[in-house]
Structure 1
Amino acid sequence: MNLDYRLFELINQFAGQSHTLDQTVMLFSKFGPILFGLVFVWLWFSKSGNPVDNRKIVLYALTITVIALGINKAIELMYFRPRPFVTYAVNLLSDKANSDPSFPSNHSAGAFAITCALFWYRRRIGSALLIMAFFMALSRIYIGVHYPSDVTAGALIALIVTIVIMSQRRFLDPIYQNIILAFGKSNDTTIKRNL
């Protein structure tokens, strides 16, 4: 047995021991991405801080997430790794257990892509989301659908994409400013004043 499976087993062994913990982790694993999305809906419409900067963060997060998930999909097409429950007897808690590729984790890539974009600009709230992203990755192992290397790869892909995208801010900022205006906020004096 390799180290990846041993680490998986170390975490997954706790599944099935506590009904309350299992339900909590399953709900977070399933609905956690919605929570991440709600943070950015709030940020888009938030009046605190500079609204243009808030909306740019949302657009950066969206860009990074789409590219990271696209890279994940390309990897899945080239390399198929079965999920842990296909290969081993595991404590499987997922009610939607399917046999699509295990590597890399889309949940982890998406969570960390959103988190990295926010952390780049807003360290305090970004740190809170970073903790949530870590628990999102951990939850995928706990419920038996990913190996540790799957969620680690998803997080690394998100981090690399973030670094690349943020290095292109001088090109992307004007595009995002135009998108913000075109989104129907052109008559918003607060937005116009901050552009």
Structure 2
Amino acid sequence: MILALSGGSIDGALYRQVVDLAHRSPGALDTAVTAWSDYGLAVFAVLMVIGWWRARRSGARAAMTALTVPVAVLVAFAADSGVKDLVRESRPCHGLPFRTLEACPGAGDWSFPSNHTAIAVAATVALFFVSRRLGAVAALCAVAMAVSRVWIGVHYPHDVLAGALVGGLVSFLVTGGLRNRPRDLADRLAATRLRPLLVS
């Protein structure tokens, strides 16, 4: 176990400014940000399905690349969770006297790095291998997810930055590595019962 980060000493002042701004913002905005923070990851799942569905029209190899996106996301989530268990940084809402928009997660639900951000950025990086357009949409959604996690008070800014770094790097390595598989593998799989997954 690594000694827990003292998040407040790293960027606690910026965290306070963001949370204070959230409290001074219109209630409708806070409601929208909270809903996005809680349920926005579903959008990335939808983008993955769209990417796979469209890739099938381009052939088995493109579809195989699209099918690596959820694999990259799962590996990135596992890596991020591993770092989280090593560092064990307490949530800012436990250490700072601030009322947050979201209920503070329980003790043992560590803050660094942000899983939500890692998943969002991992999906974004992998989707760029499938479609630049989908990747661009995902990138905007990932930024919104990262900001929302600080806005509702459950993460320090450095938590989301670290989550983005871990998720993006792992996703790039996994997706790039899987793209280097034997070039005829997709064609061989397309000749099996898996054909509907790879060719429309």
TM-score, length basis structure 2: 0.82
Instruction: Report the counterpart of residue 5 of structure 2 in structure 1.
Output: none
Query: Residue in 2 aligned with 1:29?
Result: 37
Letter in 1 for 2:142: A
User: What is aligned with 1:81?
Assistant: 89
Match of 1:170 among 176, 180, 183: 180
Q: Which residue matches 2:18? A: 11
CA contact (8 A) 2:150 2:156 kept: yes
What is the correspondence of 1:32-181 to structure 2 with a 5 Å cutoff? 32-46=40-54, 49-50=57-58, 52-53=60-61, 55-95=63-103, 97-99=105-107, 100-168=109-177, 169-171=179-181
Tell me, which stretches of 5 or more residues in structure 1 are unaligned?
none
| Match in the other structure for 2:3 | none
Contact 1:56 1:173 survives alignment (8 Å): no
The separation in 2 between residues aligned to 1:177 and 1:143, in whole angstroms, is: 47
Conserved in 2, the CA contact under 8 Å of 1:83 and 1:101? Answer: yes
In the aligned structure 2, how far is the partner of 1:152 from the partner of 1:126? Answer: 19
In structure 2, C-alpha distance between the alignment counterparts of 1:189 and 1:158, rounded to whole Å: 26
Identity among equivalent pairs (%):
27
Distance 1:75 1:26, change over 3 A: same
Comparing 146-155 with 167-176, which one deviates more in the overlay?
167-176
Residue 172 of structure 1 and its aligned partner are, at CA, apart by 6.9
Q: CA deviation at 1:136?
A: 0.1
Instruction: Give the number of equivalent residue pairs.
Output: 190
Q: Could you tell me the TM-score, scaled by structure 1's length?
A: 0.83
Q: 1:161 to 1:142 in 2, by over 3 A?
A: same
Q: Following TM superposition, by how much is the alpha carbon of 1:37 offset from its aligned partner in structure 2, in angstroms?
A: 0.6
Change (3 A) 1:189 1:72: closer
| Mapped contact 1:15–1:91 kept (Cα < 8 A) | no
Give the root-mean-square deviation of aligned CA atoms: 2.8
Q: Is this contact kept in 1: 2:77–2:115, CA < 8 A? A: yes
